[in-house]
Structure 1
């Protein structure tokens, strides 16, 4: 990690969520360091991350020695071991990391994480790809849960979407419905036509099942 200004991402825990998040961030050329106790998992990511450390005990001193305190954002992906998750999250916060996000496996777990100062992600509601998009400020801008299946999501218009008409977005292929066009930061258009052109700086608001929104966002991100 670079010295001086805090930068890059730290991932602690290479379970399915942590592994997917690591790969997605690395594929976007982000600076990533990872920590896990399993050497076989670390070998799987060493070719595309800046640093990979094997740690059995996640004490504040051990974490500090890795340099993870110099990261701008750290994601603690240890959800199933609540005691380890909470202590590790607290240790990272105490290292002065500006943004600490922690995986929670229950509502109660999430409440405690929030109380000690972490942002919380629930893997059953948010995929690692979506979290990476938020961290990279690429496709996903905001999401509002309507119920267990449906969400409203704002998606930033990137280079691949720029210049397309609403019709050419082919949202119906993803079982999505566009409900608004955010024109820059100045106006929201709800009476748009299929021929309206989306441009850089715009965002489209869509409604659909979470899995379908995520599938569309993956395509948008991969085509950037």
Structure 2
């Protein structure tokens, strides 16, 4: 990808978090480079960005071939594999990406990534902490702002969704929102199956454009 006007993002690692992030950025009209070892994940993400690459390794030479150095922001979404996370973060920094954000799953991993020069995020930890709190004021909590009009938001399930399955709700098709977690009775689930049926007191965590979230809340 040649550098274009506007902020360009690189998303490395297409797990649930990385995939949802890449889709949200692409749907907001951002330039996105997506990189993962899985051919299936790359095939799926190509519906949203032309710049999707299968990479067997994530060293500096491989990342250079994908064009990550042309990005303004690179997000390393490989928290579970600590060694790969550190190597990939180092490679992105060495390639001169101005802003490198790395996902971490432990304080120890985060300390290493921060020392390398990356901004560190703990999505699972932060999500669990914040979902455990009472809903405030108008019954939703914005807790991550990814850009001017992309965010992750906690939204209580409305009466129009109770009893419907995730697939039947068509939240992605109708609102271009991706569910990344679900909370009920202080239990957080990040593996939401398509046949799961929404229950009373469910709270979903979605990622997407602000205006789409506002419309979803109004409709539901």
For structure 1, list consecutive stretches of 5 or more residues without a partner in the other structure.
141-152, 154-170, 175-208
1:137 and 2:118 aligned:
no
Q: 1:125 Cα deviation (Å)?
A: 3.6
Structure-1 residue corresponding to 2:100: 100
Report deviation, 1:219.
Answer: 8.3
What pairs with 1:1-150 in structure 2 (closer than 5 Å)? 1-3=1-3, 7-126=7-126, 134-138=145-149
| Alpha-carbon contact 2:73-2:100 (below 8 Å) kept | yes
Give 1:25 deviation, angstroms. 1.1
Q: Please give the secondary structure, in 1, of the residue aligned with 2:35.
A: strand
1:156-213 C-alpha deviation (Å, 9 max, x unpaired): xxxxxxxxxxxxxxx9999xxxxxxxxxxxxxxxxxxxxxxxxxxxxxxxxxx9x999
CA–CA distance in structure 2, aligned partners of residues 96 and 5 of structure 1: 18
Q: CA offsets, 1:89-124, max 9 Å, x none?
A: 011001000000001011111111000000011121
The alpha carbon displacement at 1:137 in A equals 2.2
Distance in 2, matches of 1:172 and 1:45, equals: 28
- Aligned equivalents of 1:87, 1:40: Cα separation in 2: 23
TM-score normalized by the length of structure 1? 0.60
What root-mean-square deviation, in Å, do the aligned CA atoms of Structure 1 and Structure 2 show? 3.3
- Deviation for aligned residue 1:61: 0.9
Structure with bigger gyration radius: 1
Q: How many residues align?
A: 158
